[in-house]
Amino acid sequence: MESRENIFFNKVSIIGVGLLGASFALALREKGLCKTIIGFGRSEDNLKRAKERGIIDDYSLDVRKACEDSDLILLSTPVGAFRDIAERIKDALKHGVLITDVGSVKGRLVHELESLMPDGVHYIGSHPIAGSDKSGIDDARADLFNNARCIITPTEKSDELAKGKIILTWEAVGAKVEVIDPFAHDEIYAAVSHFPHIIAYSIVNTVGDVDSKYIGYAGKGFKDATRIALSSPEMWRDISIFNKENLIKMIDAFRENLDKITKCLMENNASCIEDEFLRAQTLRKKLK
């Protein structure tokens, strides 16, 4: 593995200049880890603003052009676009380029992206746990990844030097790196991230179905429980589809818990209800 002192990229391409992509660019720049940062995205207005703010040095509306001669490419679009982007850029990549991402889904997608890479091009999956319900460059900051967990998901085919350099890069921008199998990653994050988003969206929709005017009476508890329902529907649509098998298992388990509470209510069984709430409270207290 290379030393941290050797982590430097002449050209970095950020594909999708939103909160995470822009924050990664700012962090690289602050740490002196690159010379030039090029952005690509669907909105030229957003790219112009990113350039004006000094997040990127320049941009292109042609993803192939944005990635030409790059040493490091970060995929920071919704995960549903990853394969299409990889197909479009693969013939324009130079030998030795590293490709990583900030996607919340790995599993089969990691293996598919890896199989699309030409010889000498190395893809290593990454998932920094540092997002929010915000998605734009206005909330981007160089310290977003400080002390944040970042999951790296190599496969048995991953190049060891490439993996090491990706790990060191995330550590250099402040993240605490953990290496996990891609499929194990998706099981974990279905439970603690993807499923809670589905529930938050469903809670809001349920209130809306009963009477949308009730939303105006919501207090802090409701806002805390449903904050993540403010997240990008496009991004979470893709995550849900790509991790659907694990999500269906979580929804089935959740349904069983709701059925248990329903039964307690129908039987007017106060101690049963309290036991269920206590069980949840005890587990939740373990979360620091």
> Do residue 74 and residue 214 come from a single domain?
no
DSSP per-residue letters across the chain: ---GGG--EEEEEEES-SHHHHHHHHHHHHTT-EEEEEEE-S-HHHHHHHHHTTS-SEEES-HHHHHTT-SEEEE-S-GGGHHHHHHHHGGGPPTT-EEEE--S--HHHHHHHHHHSPTT-EE-EEEES---S--SGGG--TTTTTT-EEEEE--TT--HHHHHHHHHHHHHTT-EEEE--HHHHHHHHIIIIIHHHHHHHHHHHHHHHHHGGGGGG--HHHHHHHGGGGS-HHHHHHHHHHTHHHHHHHHHHHHHHHHHHHHHHHTT-HHHHHHHHHHHHHHHTT--
> Do residue 15 and residue 129 come from a single domain?
yes
> Do residue 31 and residue 160 come from a single domain?
yes
> Do residue 165 and residue 60 come from a single domain?
yes
> Do residue 240 and residue 116 come from a single domain?
no
pLDDT by residue for the chain (288 residues), tens digit each?
A: 555 556 799 999 999 999 999 999 999 999 999 999 999 999 999 999 999 999 999 999 999 999 999 999 999 999 999 999 999 999 999 999 999 999 999 999 999 999 999 999 999 999 999 976 667 899 999 999 999 999 999 999 999 999 999 999 999 999 999 999 999 999 999 999 999 999 999 999 999 999 999 999 999 999 999 999 999 999 999 999 999 999 999 999 999 999 999 999 999 999 999 999 999 999 999 987
> Do residue 193 and residue 263 come from a single domain?
yes
Q: Which domain holds residue 153?
A: 4-180
> Do residue 165 and residue 217 come from a single domain?
no
> Do residue 28 and residue 125 come from a single domain?
yes
> Do residue 41 and residue 167 come from a single domain?
yes
Total domains present in the chain: 2
**Distance, C-alpha 98 to centroid of its chain:** 18
> Do residue 117 and residue 27 come from a single domain?
yes
Q: Which of 140, 165, 180 is the last residue of a domain?
A: 180
Distance CA 181, CA 154 (A): 7
Q: What is the CATH number of the domain that holds 170?
A: 3.40.50.720
pLDDT at 57: 97
Is residue 147 exposed (0-12), middle (13-18) or buried (19+ Cβ within 10 Å)?
exposed
Within 10 Å of residue 223's Cβ, how many Cβ atoms?
A: 11
Distance CA 30, CA 26 (A): 6
> Do residue 210 and residue 172 come from a single domain?
no
Half-sphere exposure of 104 (CA within 13 A, CB side): 26
Distance CA 167, CA 165 (A): 5
Whether residue 225 contacts residue 64, with contact meaning beta carbons closer than 8 Å, is answered with no
Q: pTM above 0.85?
A: yes
